[in-house]
Amino acid sequence: MSLATAVVPAPFTTDDRGVVRIGNTRVMLERIVYAFDAGASAEEIVETYPSLKLADVYAAIAFILKNRPEVDAYMAKSEAEAEQIRETSEAYKPSTELRRRIRERARVQ
């Protein structure tokens, strides 16, 4: 008996902003990395994200394990971009005191 070998491609798609997703789902690579690093099994990840295929999650985990430096660099870039978005968003939020005054005025009227 001969076991045929084939290379299984990583099940990733990348959108126009550079966000990597698993297969044709909206689940981002970051979600898989965080879950796997927290100790979740492939089966648990699929339970959390039912749009994923189990084989794709196993392939993604294999890719993560084989390419950890590149994945860590992607994660660092993604986290830096998220932090920048949070900071920009917070700059546009009214202050707590202003929100309190607006709520007070709304109650009076």
Q: What is the pLDDT of residues 70-106, one digit of tens each?
A: 999 999 999 999 889 888 876 766 667 777 888 888 8
**Neighbouring C-beta atoms of residue 41, cutoff 10 Å:** 13
Asked if residue 29 is part of any domain, the answer here is yes
Asked if residue 96 is part of any domain, the answer here is no
Asked if residue 101 is part of any domain, the answer here is no
State pLDDT tens for residues 35-61. 999 999 999 999 999 999 999 999 999
Asked if residue 20 is part of any domain, the answer here is yes
Paired with 21 in beta bridges are: 13, 28
Per the CB < 8 A criterion, the answer to whether 53 and 23 are in contact is yes
**What CATH number did the domain enclosing 16 receive?**
1.10.10.10
Asked if residue 58 is part of any domain, the answer here is yes
Asked if residue 92 is part of any domain, the answer here is no
**Is the pTM higher than 0.85?**
no
Assign 3-class secondary structure to the chain: CCCCCCCCCCCEEECCCCCEEECCCCCEHHHHHHHHHCCCCHHHHHHHCCCCCHHHHHHHHHHHHHCHHHHHHHHHHHHHHHHHHHHHHHHHCCCHHHHHHHHHHHHHC
Asked if residue 107 is part of any domain, the answer here is no
Total domains in the fold of the chain: 1
Full residue range of the structural domain in which residue 74 is found: 12-84
Asked if residue 93 is part of any domain, the answer here is no
